[in-house]
């Protein structure tokens, strides 16, 4: 039997730590090839976060994706040879693949085929800690898997596998689809219950009139480190993408006697799979309900301004009615500003990004100034009693 026959349980939609990977991207030649290269660099970080060993990256220029193989049959044959020579376990594509493209590539290359959406879902599954986050990730995985279930002749069993018949394999596939839909329905009911519980907790906080602060920003900019530096509470800090998945909330006492709560949220990222938007529900809710947003930016990152624009676009989408709360832009990782280019970037950021405060959450530089800015932004909020 063909070793790559679909297992229908999603086993090959997963990646495992230690697997060797080749990453593949497509440059559509629309004058913004640098964006695809930056996206590939981000894919490398995603792969490493998932525990993969990145062997090499392949970037192909095309006018449009090939409908059958995404990258074209010839490039697929080259990938097959490359994967065989390098003993790769998995080929990771930087864009979403259609079910047909994934199947064709898998048959052609004879290796496990994963796209960016599946990779991110794998990371979420690895890092989800709360029950709600695990449910949200499982739901996203099932929604992604359902239209990709396929029953090929050998997988379904030969008897009755022809056109116009209903063999035992086809019945089994239908049963598995039904089981997945039932599980999705059960998860959605549990998430509705969790939302009600979260709404009750939110109302209790509102009654106590405690101001809410949400730490937002691009992924891996130091939000968790800043939360720990501000509140003294232990948080999960790791130099990987999506180190924080569940929203973390901690108390902070300001110098003027005001008590506030600070929520750390999962970082934004380019090409976020649509299927994973629901997994951000709790995080986005924290931003919507906040009295103050603190946008944490990595001032040492050459893509600082691109990241800032990404966050502003997302905020504009969240707050379409123009009711966005006050925003402080934090230029974090000042301790990493060393080169002439770094200093130029910092100066330009201070002159172009409004309400900016330079800090280093790691060594404490600028934290007192940040607290003063927080108190000023919340000056209309009452002191909790």
- Asked if 265 and 243 touch (Cβ cutoff 8 Å), the reply is no
pLDDT at 103: 86
Q: How many residues are listed for the chain in this entry?
A: 385
H or E element that contains 297: strand 292-298
Question: Residue 36, CB half-sphere, CA atoms under 13 Å: how many?
Answer: 20
The first and second tokens of residue 220, run together, are: 């891996």
Same domain, 182 and 220: no
Q: Confirm whether 122 is domain-assigned.
A: yes
Instruction: State how far the Cα of 219 lies from the Cα of 87, in Å rounded to an integer.
Output: 31
H or E element that contains 364: none
Instruction: State how far the Cα of 113 lies from the Cα of 22, in Å rounded to an integer.
Output: 10
Q: Highest mean pLDDT: which of 199-203, 277-281, 322-326, 343-347?
A: 343-347
Instruction: State how far the Cα of 185 lies from the Cα of 135, in Å rounded to an integer.
Output: 11
Same domain, 138 and 89: no
- Asked if 282 and 198 touch (Cβ cutoff 8 Å), the reply is yes
Count Cβ atoms below 10 Å from residue 219 Cβ, excluding itself: 22
Average pLDDT estimate for 48-56: 91
Average pLDDT estimate for 107-115: 91
Instruction: State how far the Cα of 212 lies from the Cα of 204, in Å rounded to an integer.
Output: 12
- Asked if 294 and 230 touch (Cβ cutoff 8 Å), the reply is no
Q: Residue 61: beta bridge partners?
A: 27
The first and second tokens of residue 321, run together, are: 């009615």
Instruction: State how far the Cα of 249 lies from the Cα of 201, in Å rounded to an integer.
Output: 12
Same domain, 123 and 142: no
pLDDT greater than 90 at residue 31 = no
Q: Confirm whether 2 is domain-assigned.
A: no
% of the chain residues with pLDDT over 70:
77
Instruction: State how far the Cα of 192 lies from the Cα of 309, in Å rounded to an integer.
Output: 33
pLDDT greater than 80 at residue 373 = yes
Same domain, 123 and 105: yes
CA angle 95, 100, 101 (to 5 degrees): 40
Domain count, the chain: 3
Same domain, 57 and 170: no
Instruction: State how far the Cα of 331 lies from the Cα of 315, in Å rounded to an integer.
Output: 18
Instruction: State how far the Cα of 252 lies from the Cα of 120, in Å rounded to an integer.
Output: 32
Q: Which DSSP string do the residues of 203-270 spell out, in sequence order?
A: HHHHHHT--EEEEEEBTTSSHHHHHHHHH-------SSTTS--S-EEEEEE-TTS-EEEEEE-PPB-T
Same domain, 265 and 372: yes
pLDDT at 323: 74
Q: Confirm whether 229 is domain-assigned.
A: yes
pLDDT greater than 50 at residue 306 = yes
Query: Where does a domain end: 180, 200, 220?
Result: 200
Q: Write the CATH number for 46.
A: 3.40.50.11060
pLDDT greater than 60 at residue 13 = yes
Q: 159-187 pLDDT, tens per residue?
A: 444 334 445 555 777 887 888 899 999 99
Q: Confirm whether 1 is domain-assigned.
A: no
| Three-state SS at 29 | coil
Q: Confirm whether 385 is domain-assigned.
A: no
pLDDT at 382: 43
Query: Where does a domain end: 200, 223, 252?
Result: 200
Same domain, 278 and 304: yes
Domain of residue 272, residue span: 209-377
Q: Confirm whether 370 is domain-assigned.
A: yes
Instruction: State how far the Cα of 252 lies from the Cα of 258, in Å rounded to an integer.
Output: 8
Average pLDDT estimate for 196-209: 74
Q: How far apart are the first and last CA of the chain?
A: 70
pLDDT at 152: 38
Same domain, 20 and 67: yes
Whole-number mean pLDDT of the chain?
Answer: 80
Count Cβ atoms below 10 Å from residue 22 Cβ, excluding itself: 23
Count Cβ atoms below 10 Å from residue 15 Cβ, excluding itself: 22
pLDDT range class, residue 24, cuts 50, 70, 90: very high
Burial of 276 (0-12, 13-18, 19+ CB in 10 A): buried
Q: Confirm whether 382 is domain-assigned.
A: no
pLDDT greater than 50 at residue 381 = no
Instruction: State how far the Cα of 233 lies from the Cα of 299, in Å rounded to an integer.
Output: 24
Query: Where does a domain end: 169, 200, 231?
Result: 200
Same domain, 98 and 151: no
pLDDT at 96: 87
pLDDT range class, residue 283, cuts 50, 70, 90: low
Count Cβ atoms below 10 Å from residue 319 Cβ, excluding itself: 14
Q: What are the Cα distances from residue 77, in Å, to 47, 73, 74, 84, 87?
A: 23, 6, 5, 11, 15
Same domain, 344 and 215: yes
Q: Confirm whether 321 is domain-assigned.
A: yes
Same domain, 327 and 338: yes
**Among the residues of 128-219, which ranges form H helices?**
131-145, 153-156, 168-208
Same domain, 215 and 269: yes
Average pLDDT estimate for 63-81: 93
């Amino acid at each position: 039997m063909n070793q790559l026959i679909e297992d229908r349980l999603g086993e090959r939609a997963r990646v495992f730590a230690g697997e060797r990977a080749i990453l593949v991207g497509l440059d559509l030649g629309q004058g913004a090839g640098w964006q695809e290269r930056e996206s590939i660099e981000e894919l490398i970080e995603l792969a490493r976060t998932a525990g993969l060993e990145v062997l090499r990256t392949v970037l192909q220029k095309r006018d449009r994706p090939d409908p059958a193989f995404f990258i074209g049959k010839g490039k697929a044959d080259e990938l097959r040879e490359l994967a065989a020579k390098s003993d790769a376990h998995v080929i990771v594509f930087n864009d979403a693949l259609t079910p047909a493209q994934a199947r064709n590539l898998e048959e052609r290359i004879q290796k496990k085929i994963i796209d960016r959406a599946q990779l991110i879902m794998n990371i979420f599954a690895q890092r989800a800690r709360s029950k709600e986050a695990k449910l949200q990730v499982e739901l996203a995985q099932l929604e992604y898997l359902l239209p990709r279930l396929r029953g090929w002749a050998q997988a379904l069993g030969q008897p009755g596998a022809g056109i116009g018949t209903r063999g035992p394999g086809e019945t089994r596939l239908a049963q598995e689809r039904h089981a997945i839909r039932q599980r999705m329905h059960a998860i959605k009911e549990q998430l509705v219950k969790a939302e009600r519980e979260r709404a009750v907790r939110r109302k209790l906080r509102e009654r106590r009139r405690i101001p809410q602060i949400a730490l937002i920003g691009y992924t891996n900019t130091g939000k968790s480190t800043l939360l720990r530096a501000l509140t003294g509470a232990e948080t999960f800090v790791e130099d990987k993408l999506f180190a924080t998945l569940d929203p973390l909330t901690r108390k902070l006492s300001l110098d003027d006697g005001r008590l506030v709560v600070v929520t750390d949220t999962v970082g934004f990222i380019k090409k976020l799979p649509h299927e994973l938007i629901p997994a951000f529900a709790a995080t986005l809710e924290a931003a919507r309900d906040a009295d103050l947003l603190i946008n944490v930016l990595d001032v040492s990152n050459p893509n600082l301004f691109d990241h800032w624009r990404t966050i502003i676009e997302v905020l504009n989408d969240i707050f379409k009615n123009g009711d966005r709360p006050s925003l402080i832009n934090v230029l974090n990782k000042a301790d990493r500003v060393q080169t002439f280019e770094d200093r130029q970037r910092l100066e330009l950021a201070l002159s172009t990004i409004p309400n900016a405060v330079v800090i280093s959450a790691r060594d404490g530089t600028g934290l007192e100034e940040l607290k003063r800015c927080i108190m000023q932004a919340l000056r209309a909020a009452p002191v909790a009693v």
